[in-house]
Amino acid sequence: MRLFRTGMLLAALTAIFMLAGFLIGGQGGMIIALLIAAATNFFAYWNADKVVLRMYKAREVTAAESPALHAIVSQLAANAGLPMPKVYIIDNPQPNAFATGRNPQNAAVAATTGLLNTLNQEEVAGVMAHELAHVKNRDTLTMTLTATVAGAISMLANMGLWFGAFGGGNRNNPLGIVGVLLMAFLAPMAAMLVQMAISRTREYEADRIGAEICGRPLWLASALEKMQVSASRIDNVTAERNPASASLFIINPLHAQKVDSLFSTHPNTANRITKLREMAAGMGQKQTRNPWR
């Protein structure tokens, strides 16, 4: 069901992209939009991880440079049956993290300096387990492709608005300037709704599987609680400038309204914490000492 839902959401994005092209340029515009979507997806498949890491000025660190973080990720990767991913650190005071890569063999996890300075080792382990769950589920590829196509739809709609306003319209457009204006406003919104829906469903699943990987749901629950408080006060300037990448982070970096709706890229943090605590109670667990400490 999860794979079917994701496939439907990705298909919806492609349909929105083609519809935007059709309303802007008729049948020819739809064909061009389809070609652009295909090229965008091809580029994103091979290069999106590098683009995102470069965007956030992430620095790869070795085991010698960051022994504690490497040891945590290494043990968790072994628990999950995954290859050891590359480990990156982002110089940013907001406590946050994300995973990227087209498959487990080419994966990377990135943590901000704010996360490493705010959380203890067991909480860091909970966060890294969540990110490895995304790798295990191949969420990183799906969400990166979705974010890329959503961004391309916004670009196409903006181009259509400019052309309609300054280019005199397009005779191939079935609705004329009305169609251009309609898609300029509605296409990016529709694409964002689909992108957000994918992100929200994936986060709940990654929380559950991440808790299983580290064996302690309360570690992640505690981390989310601390991160939400800090993230609501500390800006992530790069994310604000590139909002399409926000869905990759474990906590929404954009100070979005804290509601469980399609207008939030992430589920409500309190709901996530509640689910994790219920999971821990079902396992008969209470907060315990970290084995890495």
292 domain-assigned: no
293 domain-assigned: no
Q: How confident is the model at residue 161 (pLDDT cuts 50, 70, 90)?
A: low
166 domain-assigned: yes
12 domain-assigned: yes
Residues facing 100 on adjacent strands: 108
278 domain-assigned: yes
**Does residue 266 have a known ligand-binding role?**
no
Find, among 286, 148, 88, 128, the residue nearest to 210 by Cα: 128
Q: In the block, which residue shows the tokens 């990156």?
A: 88
User: pLDDT tens across 10-56, in order?
Assistant: 677 778 778 777 776 777 777 887 887 778 778 877 887 898 999 99
Mean pLDDT of 217-235: 95
The confidence score (pLDDT) of residue 11 equals 75
User: pLDDT tens across 110-152, in order?
Assistant: 999 999 999 999 999 999 999 999 999 988 887 777 777 776 7
Mean pLDDT of 156-175: 57
Q: How confident is the model at residue 65 (pLDDT cuts 50, 70, 90)?
A: very high
Catalytic residue flag (residue 123)? no
Specify the pairing of strand 97-100 against strand 108-112: antiparallel
**pLDDT surpasses 90 at 91:** yes
pTM: 0.82
Q: Provide the percentage of residues in the chain whose pLDDT is more than 90.
A: 47
288 domain-assigned: no
Contact 86, 59 (CB under 8 A): no
Helices 67-80/121-136 angle, 10° precision: 40
291 domain-assigned: no
The residue annotated as part of the active site, out of 60, 123, 131, 240, is 131
H/E run at residue 104:
none
The confidence score (pLDDT) of residue 41 equals 72
State the total domains in the chain.
Answer: 1
Q: Could you say which DSSP state residue 119 is in?
A: S
260 domain-assigned: yes
**pLDDT surpasses 50 at 291:** no
User: pLDDT tens across 181-202, in order?
Assistant: 666 676 677 767 767 767 778 8
Residues 6+ apart with CB under 8 A from 112: 89, 90, 91, 92, 93, 94, 95, 96, 97
More confidently predicted of 85 and 42: 85
Both tokens assigned to 33: 């939009």
| Structural domain boundaries enclosing 128 | 2-282
